[in-house]
Amino acid sequence: MSIISSGYTVQCADKAHINQDKSGSITMINPDNEEVTLALVADGVSLGFQGKYASYNTVFWLLKWASEYFAENIFDIQTVAEEIQIQMMKYNHLLNDYSDRNSDKDTCCTVCGIVTDQKKVLIFNAGDSRLYKLSPGGKVRCMTQDDKAEDGYSIAMHIGGKNDDEIKLSFSVDDFHAGNCYILCTDGFYKRCDFPSWCELICSCDSRSKAVNILKNIADSLVQAGEIDDITVLMITGSE
């Protein structure tokens, strides 16, 4: 079995600001000669360059960490969760330092990610970027919970703009099955997406090019439905 990773992103429809979303994935061979895939999306919280700096660098830093870590370590759920928590606290510190030196605004982003060895799946998030599991038969399940403040609107947890010891990611574990698809997305995607209507088509993807076309078609439909936020989606699935 191999992993198909495919994504699509588009700038906000009104072109009011640069695209603050960022996504990425990487597949590595660990010391047991097994493939480990890490994928994540991030959504810059503030308008303009500060949000983009946070999301782009958080994705870059974690992919770089994964490329080095899994070259020397096997995939152990508990240990990897602890390592990702440590890394996010480190990135939070770096973003805060950047804000202090370059801006009077917090430089921060939400983040949602997945790590899998094609047997077990580790899911993590901070903020309101989400991960959905889509299964054949039209089954859709959101695997993350939004981190919201008491007002139900403000983002309570994010990377950057907080004290280092306040960063607490949410983690969950799932079993990997080749027929399932994991959809990682920012709020510009899921707010208007009717997942069940696209579920069977997404789960039928057997190539990266087919997945890109489907994700683009979904994004186009969201724009036509009136979505004005940046739209970013990343799909992870298995292929026999």
Question: Cα-flanking dihedrals φ and ψ of residue 167, to 5°?
Answer: -75, 115
pLDDT score at 3: 87
Rounded to whole angstroms, how far apart are CA atoms 94 and 213?
36
pLDDT score at 31: 92
Rounded to whole angstroms, how far apart are CA atoms 138 and 203?
9
Amino acid (one-letter) located at 39 = A
Rounded to whole angstroms, how far apart are CA atoms 20 and 178?
31
pLDDT score at 102: 85
Of 149, 148, 234, nearest in space to 190 by CA: 234
pLDDT score at 211: 93
Within a 10 A sphere around the Cβ of 30, how many other Cβ atoms?
16
DSSP letters for 1-31? -EEEEEEEEE--TT--S---EEEEEEEEE-T
Task: Give the mean pLDDT per block of 10 residues along the chain (240 residues).
Answer: 87 77 95 94 82 95 97 96 97 94 85 96 97 94 92 88 92 93 96 95 91 95 93 88
Rounded to whole angstroms, how far apart are CA atoms 60 and 215?
22
Rounded to whole angstroms, how far apart are CA atoms 170 and 179?
25
pTM score, whole prediction: 0.94
Residues 4 and 239 sit within 8 Å (Cβ to Cβ): yes
pLDDT score at 16: 66
Q: Which residues pair with 139 in a beta bridge?
A: 135
Of 124, 222, 228, 122, nearest in space to 174 by CA: 122
pLDDT score at 206: 87
pLDDT score at 194: 95
9: which 2 tokens? 């992103």
